[in-house]
Amino acid sequence: MRVSSDLKVGIIGVGGIAGGKHMPSLAKLDAVKLVAFCDIVKDRAGAGAEKYGVKGAKVYTDYHKMLEAEKLDVVHVLTPNISHSEITVAALEAGCHVMCEKPMAKTSEGARKMAEAAKRTGKKLTIGYQNRFRADSRYLKQFCEQGGLGEIYFAKAHALRRRAVPTWGVFLDEEAQGGGPLIDIGTHSLDLTLWLMNNYEPEFAVGVTYHKLGGRKDSANAWGPWDPKKFTVEDSAFGFIRMRNGATIYLESSWALNMRETREAVCTLCGTEAGADMWDGLHINGERFSKLYVEKAQLEPGSVPFFSGTGERDADVEAKSWINAVLEDKEPVVLPEQALVVTEILEAIYTSNSTGQPFYFEKKASKAASKAGKK
């Protein structure tokens, strides 16, 4: 059943990710009317309303009051990780479809409450894993679905920065965020890897986190020196995940690490028929006619004289896909069941680090794996 093509959308959390990604993309869509903006800092909410809102858009500092006063169709939850679950559940129960920024929640318990609320209310819930919408990701997903790599049995999820520690907001606050680079950028590469493998059934995870460079003063950094006293999360983390079908994944993440080659939100896949990597463009490798080959996928159209082309941001593709899912009453690309597994694995790596032992997952029937192949 289609819904009204005039969607009333509210924004909760009018910070950097709202202004850099969500609001500009939503404002381009004719079906979207940005009618309400909420932030604990009123001026931020007001600035968002002035720049992206419809005439008469309302400003709030309390999301409860916004959900009660406004008859919203869609809400975007763009707050620190600690509040994702609480706000998302409230918005779903208020009758709204919800897009929540990554990671799904600070804890697997919180993420599970979100998935359960979506199922209970019948409302759509998706998580902001925009890297699925890149041209290379979409191409490789099709290639994997058609059996181009065969059985994918080993993968690496890469999320490595040499020196790029986010120094604003609450990124360095373990209480508010739940962790550092693992939960911040490792979550993107892990989501991408699981999605491409179409494998959402982990058996166990082993992990370790480090805080080796975060305590230093006046360190070189893309966003300026950080305050060592406020740096309460890890600066790097690494995990090994074994899936129930025997496949294995190595996850590496860092904000600060002494290494020359860095790569973020990409993965390496090794299958029985071929392999793929996204390091410097998308490459497929394998064996053909008793010879090894490496091919680079050409994802952009060839040059045309006097035409520069019109690129579309990944965030725009993501927003359009999400809004179309609401309008056409179909499942979003990123399913809550899938995002829940990502959060469970991240939490398992943190738990393994604190206990010094592998973390074993409970065996459960998972609909995420069967659904993932459709996306």
Asked whether residue 346 falls in the same domain as residue 246, the answer is yes
pLDDT tens profile 85-144: 999 999 999 999 999 999 999 999 999 999 999 999 999 999 999 999 999 999 999 999
Task: Specify if 189 maps to a domain.
Answer: yes
Q: DSSP 3-state helix, strand, coil percentages of the chain (rounded to 5)?
A: 35, 25, 40
**Per-residue tokens: 11:** 């924004």
Helices (H) and strands (E) in the chain, counts: 13, 15
**Per-residue tokens: 283:** 């490459």
Residue 372: band (very low, low, confident or very high) from pLDDT cuts 50, 70, 90: very low
Last residue of a domain, one of 93, 111, 131: 131
pLDDT tens profile 352-365: 999 999 999 998 75
The answer, yes or no, to whether residue 304 has pLDDT greater than 80, is no
The answer, yes or no, to whether residue 155 has pLDDT greater than 90, is yes
Read off the amino acid at residue 89.
V
Last residue of a domain, one of 131, 147, 171: 131
Asked whether residue 54 falls in the same domain as residue 78, the answer is yes
Asked whether residue 86 falls in the same domain as residue 140, the answer is no
The answer, yes or no, to whether residue 368 has pLDDT greater than 80, is no
Task: Specify if 329 maps to a domain.
Answer: no
Question: The domain spanning residue 171 has which CATH number?
Answer: 3.30.360.10
Question: The domain spanning residue 46 has which CATH number?
Answer: 3.40.50.720
pLDDT tens profile 200-253: 999 999 999 999 999 998 889 999 999 999 999 999 999 999 999 999 999 999
What's the structural domain count of the chain? 2
pLDDT at 365: 56
- Reported residue count of the chain is 375
Rounded to an integer, what distance in angstroms lies between the CA atom of residue 54 and that of residue 221? 39
Task: Specify if 99 maps to a domain.
Answer: yes
Cβ atoms 248, 152 nearer than 8 A: no
Asked whether residue 116 falls in the same domain as residue 145, the answer is no
Q: Work out the mean pLDDT of the chain and round it to a whole number.
A: 94
pLDDT at 305: 55
State the average pLDDT over residues 19-45.
97
State the average pLDDT over residues 307-316.
71
**Strand pairing of 274-277 and 7-12?**
unpaired
State the average pLDDT over residues 52-57.
97
State the average pLDDT over residues 162-182.
96
Task: Specify if 2 maps to a domain.
Answer: no
The strand ranges marked E within 211-365 are: 236-243, 248-254, 264-271, 274-277, 283-288, 291-296, 359-360
Task: Name the residue range of residue 117's domain.
Answer: 7-131
Asked whether residue 213 falls in the same domain as residue 81, the answer is no
Cβ atoms 40, 34 nearer than 8 A: no
Rounded to an integer, what distance in angstroms lies between the CA atom of residue 202 and that of residue 345? 8
Cβ atoms 255, 249 nearer than 8 A: no
pLDDT at 228: 95
